[in-house]
Structure 1
Amino acid sequence: MMIARIWHGKTRVEDYEVYTEFLQKTAIPDYSKTVGFIKLSFLRNIKNNEGHFTLITYWENLEVIKNFAGQDFEKAKYYPEDDAFLLEFEETVEHFEVFS
């Protein structure tokens, strides 16, 4: 059964566009090259003067998520560049079975 992995991050509103560019140039290709990756949706909005980003990735199963995220697959994966943008680092992500 396909699995959806959901991550959330937030930036200062001043970094909203720059972080979007970083995600397009670095994160999306990284996800896309992982065997078992199906697709993704990157969502963004500005709320309370902060940039919010929600990433929903779709994977064939939990085993292929481990190939991307490691054995502790519920732990969020971050890039070194995130230190310059993100206001906080949520420790975990959520996983859901996709039934429709």
Structure 2
Amino acid sequence: MPTTPTIARIWRGRTRPDVADLYDSYIRTEGIPPLEKTALGVQLFREDRPEESWFVTISYWADMQAMTAFTGGEPTRVHHLERDPELLIELPERIEIHRILVDRQGLR
């Protein structure tokens, strides 16, 4: 199995500003650790806007087979966290899966 990622799996969700800090903490403790154990890498992004806060999680995978093993068969299936219905404005219906075409790090 290759050790460099060829696939990026992208999840997006948004919260109200009044629960954004709570969701930030929640996703870091409940959503990120399973990815850290299985993916080659993971990033969490947050963008605060006046009316909502956006969260984006990108996990990196060696190939579709590795990602499919993590998701239990369907890589595009959204795995909602237990408190997502309470904290997110709406439940995301899809996951984006992208092939990585260029991977250059350390650019400044």
TM over 0.5: yes
Which residue number in structure 1 is paired with residue 71 of structure 2?
Answer: 69
Structure 1, unpaired ranges of 5+ = none
Tell me the residue number matched to 1:19.
23
Number of equivalences? 98
Question: Hey, what's the Cα distance between the residues in 1 that align with 2:67 and 2:58?
Answer: 13
Q: Give how far 1:59 is off.
A: 0.7
Give the percent of matched residue pairs that are identical in Structure 1 and Structure 2. Answer: 27
Q: Are residues 1:28 and 2:32 paired?
A: yes
Contact 2:14–2:54 (Cα < 8 Å) also in 1 = yes
- Number of the residue aligned with 1:8: 12
| Residue 47 (structure 1) shift | 2.2
TM-score between both structures, scaled by the size of structure 2: 0.83
User: CA RMSD, aligned part only?
Assistant: 1.3
Match for 1:3: what amino acid? I
Larger radius of gyration: 2
Deviation at 1:64, TM superposition (A): 1.2
Structure 2 unaligned regions, length at least 5: 103-108
State the 4+ residue runs in structure 1 displaced beyond 3 angstroms: none
Residue 89 of structure 1 is matched in structure 2 by: 91
Equivalent position SS for 1:26: helix
